[in-house]
A and B are shown apart, each in its own frame.
Chain A
Amino acid sequence: RKEVEQDPGPFNVPEGATVAFNCTYSNSASQSFFWYRQDCRKEPKLLMSVYSSGNEDGRFTAQLNRASQYISLLIRDSKLSDSATYLCVVKEGSQGNLIFGKGTKLSVKP
């Protein structure tokens, strides 16, 4: 069974903390990887793509280890507005449908 698995969470952290999320995927043929953010009862929104060389977007850093089939997301200097569920997503198939992890809930407290 093809799956994307994430840390169960929830993560409760104070403002300014650094927090890391992990994700593993089972399909070694997967080629594209993303982190999405989903706020309560809303649609998921793309946070960032994940590239083999690792990539950074402001306070967010994503890493990919193809050999271990492992993806990570690091958030530095957490803000209250970062509170959400973070979804690890893998694109598969010729038509490119997305396989979602269950998500990890982050709650940033003042």
Chain B
Amino acid sequence: GAVVSQHPSRVICKSGTSVKIECRSLDFQATTMFWYRQFPKQSLMLMATSNEGSKATYEQGVEKDKFLINHASLTLSTLTVTSAHPEDSSFYICSARDDTSSSYNSPLHFGNGTRLTVT
């Protein structure tokens, strides 16, 4: 089945540093990938939609200059949390849609998430 690899799975960093999270589709191409964030006991919230070859679309309230997204190839999207602060500590998950999937109803494939802790 389709696999999305997300790396790292866990990261602890100091306040003020930047953290890069990678999301790779391993056996399919994904023009569109999504980045979600989940705080404890909350639902997954969409942060941004990443499109290969164009600028990401950010959801309201998500700072594009703080959460940099780069989708340079059809199999890789990266999210960089710049100048991280303790309030950025969360569970970040990417998902990807298989370009070959012709059905709008096809589900997305999720990475295994990155747990970020900013001290």
Contact = CB atoms under 8 A, between A and B. Distances in A.
A43 B111 contact: yes
B108 interface: yes
A91 B103 CA distance: 12
Nearest to B110: A43
Interface residues of A, number: 22
B31 to A, nearest CB: 9
Interface residues of B, number: 24
B41 to A, nearest CB: 8
B102 to A, nearest CB: 12
A42 to B, nearest CB: 7
Interface stretch (A13-21, A59-67, A69-77, A94-102): A94-102
B42 A102 contact: yes
A44 interface: yes
Interface stretch (B12-20, B72-80, B91-99): B91-99
Given A95-B32, A98-B34, A102-B42, A45 B110 contact: yes
Interface of A: 4, 31-32, 34, 41-46, 49, 87, 91, 95-103
Interface of B: 32, 34, 36, 41-46, 49, 51, 91, 93, 95, 97, 104-105, 107-108, 110-113, 115
